[in-house]
């Protein structure tokens, strides 16, 4: 498998690994295809994401994409985080091998799931803001 240098860097030295005990939003998502799991913790102040941590029981590409995703939303607004797509994360990592694209979807889903949890805790229906959390088409294609 050919991984870019950036993927290898984020895989061997992932950023923002861990938990936030008093997180404002926690999202847990699983990949139906491989059974990998990702958990994302957000600390939110006003509309800014002040801290992000993640834990994953997943493959190398899942570790690298979640690491990059946390870097891309840290210090950003909720609106920016909601616009983060798995494609943007992959581009920031200089690409992923096609069979690993579905792993990057886990990172996007985890961010959205954590924001959804945040809105639910605020008493706001997250579907109004986030919509349905995207599911991984790729995974079903490869089933
Ligand atoms: Fe499961 Fe990559 S193979 S997330």
CA distance 24 to 11: 26
CA distance 106 to 29: 7
Cβ–ligand 1 distance for 23 under 6 Å, the answer no
Q: Where would I find the H helices in 3-143?
A: 5-12, 60-73, 78-83, 86-92, 101-121, 126-130, 137-142
pLDDT in tens, 102-117: 899 889 999 999 999 9
Output the DSSP codes for 16-43. SBS--TT-SEEEEEE-TTT--EEEEEEE
CA distance 58 to 131: 26
pLDDT in tens, 25-80: 999 999 877 889 999 999 999 999 999 999 998 899 999 999 999 999 999 999 99
Is there a catalytic annotation at residue 103? yes
Is there a catalytic annotation at residue 139? no
CA distance 81 to 74: 9
Across 129-142, b (16+ Cβ under 10 Å) vs e yields ebeebeebebbeee
Cα-to-centroid distance, 65 and ligand 1 (Å): 11
Q: What is the mean pLDDT of the chain?
A: 90
Query: pLDDT at position 135, please?
Result: 54
Residue 137 lies in a domain: no
Ligand 1 closest atom vs CA 100 = 2
Residue numbers of the domain that contains 64? 5-130
Residue 142 lies in a domain: no
Cβ–ligand 1 distance for 58 under 6 Å, the answer yes
CATH of the domain at 115: 3.90.1010.10
CA distance 5 to 8: 5
The pTM (predicted TM-score) of the whole model is: 0.89
The number of domains in the chain is 1
Query: pLDDT at position 140, please?
Result: 44
Query: pLDDT at position 32, please?
Result: 78
Sorting pLDDT into bands at 50, 70 and 90, what band is 127? confident
Cα-to-centroid distance, 99 and ligand 1 (Å): 9
Cα-to-centroid distance, 20 and ligand 1 (Å): 24
């Amino acid at each position: 498998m050919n991984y870019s240098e950036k993927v290898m860097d984020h895989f061997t030295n992932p950023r923002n690994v861990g938990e936030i005990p008093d997180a404002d939003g926690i999202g847990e998502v699983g990949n139906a295809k491989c059974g990998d799991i990702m958990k994302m913790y957000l600390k939110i102040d006003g509309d800014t994401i002040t801290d992000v941590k993640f834990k994953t029981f997943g493959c190398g590409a899942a570790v690298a994409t979640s690491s990059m995703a946390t870097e891309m939303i840290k210090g950003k607004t909720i609106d920016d985080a909601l616009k983060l797509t798995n494609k943007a994360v992959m581009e920031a990592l200089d690409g992923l091998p096609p069979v690993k694209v579905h792993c990057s979807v886990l990172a996007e889903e985890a961010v959205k799931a954590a924001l959804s949890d945040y809105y639910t805790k605020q008493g706001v229906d997250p579907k109004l803001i986030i919509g349905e959390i995207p599911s991984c088409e790729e995974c079903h294609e490869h089933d």
